[in-house]
Chain A
Amino acid sequence: MKRVYPNKDFCIGCRLCELACLTAHSESKDLIIAYTEERLTGLAPCKAVYENGPVCVSLSCRHCEDAFCVSTCISGALYKDKVSGKTMYNESKCVGCWSCMMACPYGAIKRNPVKKKIIKCDLCEGREMPACVEACPNAALVYEDRDE
């Protein structure tokens, strides 16, 4: 299954991936409206750039095979898709208990405090290539299948 693999040797911390992710998941699909207006309704990127000195990296859901978040979800909103292998999220079932956010040791789940739902990477359902990978100017995010 194709995943987005982050390379911390070449991430330059520009955060264009976060902006692209935000836009791709917005209603307007327009960066300016997404950033200045939609964020006020709780819209946030699924990607987060972390920095430690000169090193930085952009991380999002790993779509783990044995997902900790799926194991903690009390409503079944998070589940593994049998066909694609992705960790899927059904927003309508989510009750905002934040158990998944607590359980994910990769910090991949974020809170939307306005909607009381979570935000998690969906590998850009419906797009040919995840927006973050497209936006990265330094090939620090790679979209490929590395499963054996």
Chain B
Amino acid sequence: MLFKPLSQTFHDFIIDRDKDLCINCKVCMRQCSYGAHFWDKARQCVSHDNTKCVGCRRCEAFCPTGALNIRYKQSEFRQNALWRAEYIKNLYKQADTGGVLLSGMGCPKPYPIYWDNLLLDASQVTNPSIDPLREPMELRTYLGSKPDVLSFGKGKGGVTLKTELAPQVKLETPILFSAMSFGAINFNLHIAMARAATETGTLYNTGEGGLHESLYKYGKNTIVQVASGRFGVHREYLNAGAAIEIKIGQGAKPGIGGHLPGEKVDARVSETRMIPVGSDALSPAPHHDIYSIEDLRQLIYALKEASEYKKPVSVKIAAVHNSAAIASGIVRAGADIVAIDGFRGGTGAAPTMIRDNVGIPIELALAAVDQRLRDEGIRNQASLLIAGGVRCSADVIKAIALGADAVYIGTAALLSVGCTLCGRCYTGKCPWGIATNDAKLAKRQNPEVAAKRMANLIRAWSHEIEEMLGGMGLNSIESVRGNRDKLRGVGLNQVELDTLGVKPAGR
């Protein structure tokens, strides 16, 4: 590679082109948005520049003869447990540019994954399992503040409920689409999530990019988010959704605000967020009107006033060290739902150092928060939603067993429409059309196709959850909720077991 800067010499990927299969049809050229494939005029064939390859595998997926293979570049640095290749390459980049390293998607580092150290129970003999294909399974979940006491009375029609219930949101399944802002992702995917959520009876979250007018009709299945930048927040917006969420923090980058590069702000993003076209959309780190828990309470009730107390208000925080105390404060401040986002959560753009080194695993945060709220006797006053690296239905049910009411999926939803986790979301060149609104790339996500895939995902996971419930001899998700006894830990030390509130396998 002649005359390239140091940081590009040790690029990560190599494009293998099988010359026997390549017919020079140029499909790869047209699909690659990074310009890695090009037409070699001199040799009259399609050629490629490995330094431009980001490993997104779009070309590999589209090649009609299967001639392409994307693989890791073999040339390794000398083995060094401390100075692993990624540290070295990042350092070179910073020496080149003097800039902050930026990354897309969630933390990929090999920190412990507690889902993989927890196992579920199943019924044998004494408590027979239930066949979900023959018995009804209740996955329905209500999010909102539950009363301390239920009082009934006798009326004309029989028994009546005297207690007034706080506003609730009904989910047919305990899986929701996580907050991914319009601007960070393609508008077509918002249409898809809205449709998929409506079809499967769950909700999707607008993220901090506001809600486009044309999607108001899906309001019954929408959670509108109020983030620190207050993008797109106005009265109609607040009343358009089924619930309102105040975003204090985000798992991928606790402590800092959202970041949407100006290149990704086109006319529609501008209209929805209420900012000028082409300007960077930087959300401040804190809400500048929330500097104490009392300020949060004020905002929560301001939103309740604006929505006439008809919608539950949720507060989303990142999972950090004292999540339990914060969550307790939030519940006491009047939130109907507390959403906690673990450090594995995805993002369109975050400083790499923060994404990889800040926050705690959601499993531990969840267990801690759930236990703390129970200890304080206020667990019923708010529903718990968790997010941050939920990869399969087993993770969902484990989360519910640890105490969650429901689970947000973000990365998983994007994977369902083609994302390959190449992590270049911040460039706005996503060749899968996911993390971009560029006219040419955005149409690569057909809302009809995407909605079907997302709905399929929810349905598949819901069905698997039913199977696992049936296997445990339970026919309602409520029986698993917070039921730590349905979990056992493997390969965990005593402190971890205690934090999770889970017995070790064998006991």
User: Do A and B interact directly, with beta carbons closer than 8 Å?
Assistant: yes
Which A residues are closer than 8 A to B by beta carbons? 9-16, 19-20, 31-32, 35-36, 53-55, 137-140
Pair count A-B, CB < 8 A: 48
Give the chain A neighbours of B64 by CB distance below 8 A.
Answer: 16, 19-20, 31
Q: Is B479 an interface residue (CB 8 A)?
A: no
Contact A138 B25 (CB under 8 A): no
In the bound complex, CA of A15 to CA of B439 (Å)? 18
Interface residues of chain B: helix, strand, loop or mixed (majority): loop
CB closest chain-B residue, reference A19: B64
CB closest chain-A residue, reference B444: A12
Give which listed residue, A31, A32, A55, A139, contacts B446 with CB less than 8 A. A139
Give the chain B neighbours of A36 by CB distance below 8 A.
Answer: 23
Give the chain A neighbours of B443 by CB distance below 8 A.
Answer: 9-12, 54, 138
Contact A35 B27 (CB under 8 A): no
Q: Is B62 an interface residue (CB 8 A)?
A: yes
In the bound complex, CA of A131 to CA of B162 (Å)? 64
Contact A139 B23 (CB under 8 A): no
CB closest chain-B residue, reference A55: B439
Q: A35 and B448 in contact (CB under 8 A), knowing A15-B30, A16-B64, A137-B62?
A: no
Contact A13 B21 (CB under 8 A): no
Contact with A along B446-476 (1 / 0, CB 8 A): 1011000000000000000000000000000
Q: Considering the complex, which residues of chain B in the window 378-399 have a beta carbon less than 8 Å from any beta carbon of chain A?
A: none
Interface residues of chain A: helix, strand, loop or mixed (majority): loop
In the bound complex, CA of A35 to CA of B67 (Å)? 14
In the bound complex, CA of A14 to CA of B58 (Å)? 11
Contact A14 B30 (CB under 8 A): yes
Q: Is B117 an interface residue (CB 8 A)?
A: no
Q: Is B314 an interface residue (CB 8 A)?
A: no
CB closest chain-B residue, reference A30: B65
Q: Is B202 an interface residue (CB 8 A)?
A: no
In the bound complex, CA of A15 to CA of B25 (Å)? 9
Q: Is B347 an interface residue (CB 8 A)?
A: no
Give the chain B neighbours of A138 by CB distance below 8 A.
Answer: 443-444, 446, 449
Q: List 9 A-B contacts (CB under 8 A).
A: A14-B62, A15-B27, A19-B25, A20-B64, A36-B23, A53-B439, A138-B443, A139-B448, A139-B449
Contact B23 A14 (CB under 8 A): no
In the bound complex, CA of A10 to CA of B192 (Å)? 14
In the bound complex, CA of A146 to CA of B433 (Å)? 30
Q: B66 CB to closest chain A CB, in angstroms?
A: 10
Q: Is B222 an interface residue (CB 8 A)?
A: no
Which of the listed residues A9, A14, A53 has the most CB atoms from chain B within 10 Å of its own CB? A14
4 smallest A-B Cβ distances: which pairs?
A54-B439, A54-B440, A10-B446, A35-B23
Which of the listed residues B31, B439, B443 has the most CB atoms from chain A within 10 Å of its own CB? B443
- Beyond A53-B439, A140-B446, 14 extra complex contacts between A and B, CB < 8 Å: A9-B443, A12-B433, A12-B443, A14-B30, A15-B27, A19-B27, A19-B64, A20-B64, A31-B65, A32-B23, A35-B23, A36-B23, A137-B62, A138-B443
Interface size of B by Cβ–Cβ distance < 8 Å? Answer: 19
Contact A16 B27 (CB under 8 A): yes
Give the chain A neighbours of B62 by CB distance below 8 A.
Answer: 14, 16, 137
In the bound complex, CA of A9 to CA of B440 (Å)? 10
Contact A13 B30 (CB under 8 A): yes
In the bound complex, CA of A13 to CA of B433 (Å)? 13
Give the chain A neighbours of B65 by CB distance below 8 A.
Answer: 31-32
Contact with A along B1-44 (1 / 0, CB 8 A): 00000000000000000000101011100110000000000000
Give the chain A neighbours of B444 by CB distance below 8 A.
Answer: 12, 138
Q: B33 CB to closest chain A CB, in angstroms?
A: 11
Give the chain B neighbours of A54 by CB distance below 8 A.
Answer: 438-440, 443
In the bound complex, CA of A140 to CA of B449 (Å)? 10
Q: B62 CB to closest chain A CB, in angstroms?
A: 6
Which of the listed residues A10, A11, A19 has the most CB atoms from chain B within 10 Å of its own CB? A10
Q: B432 CB to closest chain A CB, in angstroms?
A: 11
Give the chain A neighbours of B27 by CB distance below 8 A.
Answer: 14-16, 19
Which of the listed residues B64, B433, B448 has the most CB atoms from chain A within 10 Å of its own CB? B64
Give which listed residue, B23, B26, B30, B440, contacts A31 with CB less than 8 A. B23
Give the chain B neighbours of A32 by CB distance below 8 A.
Answer: 21, 23, 65
Give which listed residue, A35, A55, A137, contacts B25 with CB less than 8 A. A35
In the bound complex, CA of A16 to CA of B31 (Å)? 11
Q: B397 CB to closest chain A CB, in angstroms?
A: 33
Give the chain A neighbours of B31 by CB distance below 8 A.
Answer: 12, 14
Q: A32 CB to closest chain B CB, in angstroms?
A: 6
Give the chain A neighbours of B448 by CB distance below 8 A.
Answer: 139
Give the chain A neighbours of B438 by CB distance below 8 A.
Answer: 54
In the bound complex, CA of A120 to CA of B319 (Å)? 61
Q: Considering the complex, which residues of chain B in the window 422-446 have a beta carbon less than 8 Å from any beta carbon of chain A?
A: 433, 438-440, 443-444, 446
Give the chain B neighbours of A35 by CB distance below 8 A.
Answer: 23, 25
CB closest chain-A residue, reference B452: A139
Give the chain A neighbours of B433 by CB distance below 8 A.
Answer: 12
Q: A41 CB to closest chain B CB, in angstroms?
A: 16
Give the chain B neighbours of A16 by CB distance below 8 A.
Answer: 27, 62, 64
CB closest chain-A residue, reference B61: A137
CB closest chain-B residue, reference A33: B23
In the bound complex, CA of A14 to CA of B440 (Å)? 12
Q: B177 CB to closest chain A CB, in angstroms?
A: 21
Q: A53 CB to closest chain B CB, in angstroms?
A: 8
Which of the listed residues B21, B27, B438, B446 has the most CB atoms from chain A within 10 Å of its own CB? B446
In the bound complex, CA of A10 to CA of B439 (Å)? 11
Contact with A along B172-207 (1 / 0, CB 8 A): 000000000000000000000000000000000000
In the bound complex, CA of A16 to CA of B58 (Å)? 14
In the bound complex, CA of A147 to CA of B438 (Å)? 35
